[in-house]
Chains A and B, each alone.
Chain A
Amino acid sequence: AQSVSQHNHHVILSEAASLELGCNYSYGGTVNLFWYVQYPGQHLQLLLKYFSGDPLVKGIKGFEAEFIKSKFSFNLRKPSVQWSDTAEYFCAVTPRDNYGQNFVFGPGTRLSVLP
């Protein structure tokens, strides 16, 4: 069974700092990869996704993620964070050969951005 790990439980940054959140997965086959964000009191929203093609994926709100197949990683980045980026971030993986049914989430990383 596949699993997803996220390196940091809680990250605290000042505004304008650069962000990188780690995500690693374990699965031997081809996968689809996602980053979701949950702002305080709101529902989970998709930030970006990777299915195939260019491994550097751009999402909403200036976020991007890079898929490195050899490292089984899909790290999320943003060059300059804002206070409004304070939220919980979830990495998710689904095996492409299992028709997307086994959607596995990481434990989440809480990001706090200080004004």
Chain B
Amino acid sequence: ETGVTQTPRHLVMGMTNKKSLKCEQHLGHNAMYWYKQSAKKPLELMFVYSLEERVENNSVPSRFSPECPNSSHLFLHLHTLQPEDSALYLCASSQDAGEGSNEQFFGPGTRLTVL
């Protein structure tokens, strides 16, 4: 148990559906991250939030919409996804986004399948 939880663990959705992924961290961290893990590809950083403010968006399509209502919770809202968006979506947190404190703690991930 890393202190970072994600729900749901598995999600199957059609291309016209709207769904949300949830991440919660119980570590008192100030920075949270969304990653995409696809087969045979490096982990891709999608979004970074520091103190509830988005600080990075790595050119992610607008069909992915993050929300960070407070430092403990992070959401990823999904709509009109494509089959190639099927992947494992990982949430992580770190103490902050500052120098020397950026060991990341990962959640178990949500396995997303888009039909």
Contact = CB atoms under 8 A, between A and B. Distances in A.
Interface string B1-39: 010100000000000000000000000000101000000
B94 A100 contact: yes
Nearest to B43: A105
A107 interface: yes
B104 to A, nearest CB: 6
A106 interface: yes
Given A102-B45, A104-B45, A108-B42, A96 B100 contact: yes
Given A90-B43, A106-B42, A51 B97 contact: no
B55 A101 contact: yes
B41 to A, nearest CB: 7
Interface residues of B, number: 29
B98 A100 contact: yes
B81 interface: no
A34 B100 CA distance: 12
Nearest to A32: B102
Given A32-B100, A94-B102, A101 B42 contact: no
Nearest to B40: A107
A4 interface: yes
A44 B100 contact: no
A45 interface: yes
Contacts of A108: 42
Interface of A: 4, 32, 34, 36, 42-46, 49, 51, 90, 92, 94, 96-97, 99-108
21 contacts: A34-B103, A34-B104, A43-B2, A43-B4, A44-B90, A44-B106, A46-B105, A49-B103, A90-B43, A97-B99, A100-B98, A100-B102, A101-B55, A101-B97, A102-B56, A103-B33, A104-B42, A104-B45, A106-B42, A107-B41, A108-B42
Given A99-B97, A101-B56, 20 more contacts: A4-B42, A34-B104, A36-B106, A42-B108, A43-B90, A43-B108, A44-B106, A45-B2, A46-B104, A49-B103, A90-B43, A94-B102, A96-B100, A100-B31, A100-B99, A100-B102, A103-B45, A104-B45, A105-B42, A108-B42
